[in-house]
Structure 1
Amino acid sequence: MADAARGEEAALVAVQSALADRPGVLAGARALSHFGEHSIGWLVIAGLGALGQPAKRRAWLAAGFGAFAAHAAAVVIKRVVRRERPHHPSIAVNVGTPSRLSFPSAHATSTTAASILLARATGLPLPAVLVPPMALSRMVLGVHYPSDVLTGVAVGAAVAKTVDFISSAEPTRRRHRAEGDS
């Protein structure tokens, strides 16, 4: 008989028990998983936004760059920490993953960065709408512990803040250089 799930494993079992059997939840979680894989969905949205709104191109490109940078940061952290994905017998793994590494969730990281930066481009409250479903989906699918997801959100927010600072400072630097040339 398998040991009872404890701690974060018990939390995953509780999330899966509460949500996974509801109509559309697993299909929706899998769709989010495919959309967020390697931040591809966010890159596509940022690219389309940059093409469709030339006046806001810089903000859209910053969002795409932020999503990609957040994903890269998560991958680097995963390789340093090397925490394995959940594997308790009570946890159903409902999607394939590109690696066995879990901490932090790259999906939560890139989604948080993208949603914060896309909110700047669109004026919409995207973090509140996009981050919770992506974060929950990673647990419903059984591929991340709650601490993986929470850390991913924190790393994504830090990356977004950094990208926003750099992209906001660049026009000022160019203007100061141009004024110095005159």
Structure 2
Amino acid sequence: MAADLTTAAPAEPQDSAQTDEAKSTVTPETVALRKVQGALAKPQVVKAARAMSLFGEHAGGWLAIGAVGALVDRKRRGEWITAAAGVALAHGASIGVKRVVRRRRPADPQVEVLVGTPSKLSFPSSHATSTTAAAVLYGGLTGKKLTPVLVPPMMVSRLVLGVHYPSDVVAGSALGGVVAWGVRRFIRRRRNRG
């Protein structure tokens, strides 16, 4: 009978501690990220999201568009250069915030990371920041409403690729909008002076 008592050993405390730790890291944002990937991470969508990721890396695609605008629109060359500088400023601001906040990218076992990233830091999304700044600034120069066309797809693409939480992309877009607002005011003041 004594042998029967010793074979029924209780679960080790480490196992329950690890289970509790895993449960505590599943936040509403993690659940939302899982749902976005589950619903949207189809091959064609992932392919498009990866292309958007490459275009937005270090704001490179947006800076190239600003350079083309400056070359083509000679009359407003200075404004295009200032707008492109605003996109670069927004991107730099997002990197600065990342280094202060130091939030790690999603590491949930049910979230698949589908693209490489230059850093392990997540908050805010630099892609969302520079895209919003570009949409606002270039939209102001072209007279087109680019924000609703460009920003939501970039934000969603970062979730589809599993590299950001929802709050990362929202904060990035807000930061890009604030920087763009300041740069647009600067452009208007210069235009009114001269």
2:20 matched to 1:20?
A: no
Query: After superposition, what is the alpha-carbon deviation per residue over 1:23-80, rounded to whole angstroms, capped at 9, x for unaligned?
Result: 4100100000000011000010000011011122233222211111110000000000
Normalised by the size of structure 2, how large is the TM-score?
A: 0.85
Which contiguous aligned blocks of 4+ residues in structure 1 show a shift greater than 2 angstroms?
1-6, 170-173
Q: How does 1:81-100 map to 2 (within 5 A)?
A: 81-100=101-120
What secondary structure does 1:62 align onto? helix
Which residue number corresponds to residue 153 of structure 2? Answer: 133
Instruction: Report the alpha carbon displacement of residue 172 of structure 1 after superposing the two structures with TM.
Output: 4.0
CA distance in 1, matches of 2:183, 2:69: 17
2:189 matched to 1:169?
A: yes
What secondary structure does 1:68 align onto? helix
Query: After superposition, what is the alpha-carbon deviation per residue over 1:2-43, rounded to whole angstroms, capped at 9, x for unaligned?
Result: 74643101100000001002x410010000000001100001
CA distance in 2, matches of 1:129, 1:59: 22
| Residue among 28, 51, 54 paired with 1:31 | 51
For structure 2, which runs of at least 5 residues remain unmatched after alignment? Answer: 1-17
Which residue number corresponds to residue 121 of structure 1? Answer: 141
Which residue number corresponds to residue 162 of structure 2? Answer: 142
CA distance in 2, matches of 1:68, 1:108: 13
Query: For the Cα contact (< 8 Å) 1:115–1:126, is it kept in 2?
Result: yes
Paired residues, what number? 173
| Residue among 51, 58, 62 paired with 2:78 | 58
* AA aligned opposite 1:153: S
* AA aligned opposite 1:99: S
Percentage of matched positions with identical amino acids? 51
CA distance in 1, matches of 2:45, 2:148: 19
Query: After superposition, what is the alpha-carbon deviation per residue over 1:75-105, rounded to whole angstroms, capped at 9, x for unaligned?
Result: 0000000000000100000000000000000
Q: RMSD between aligned alpha carbons?
A: 1.5
* AA aligned opposite 2:38: S
CA gap 1:170/1:153 in 2 versus in 1, 3 angstroms: same
* AA aligned opposite 1:155: L
Instruction: Report the alpha carbon displacement of residue 169 of structure 1 after superposing the two structures with TM.
Output: 1.5
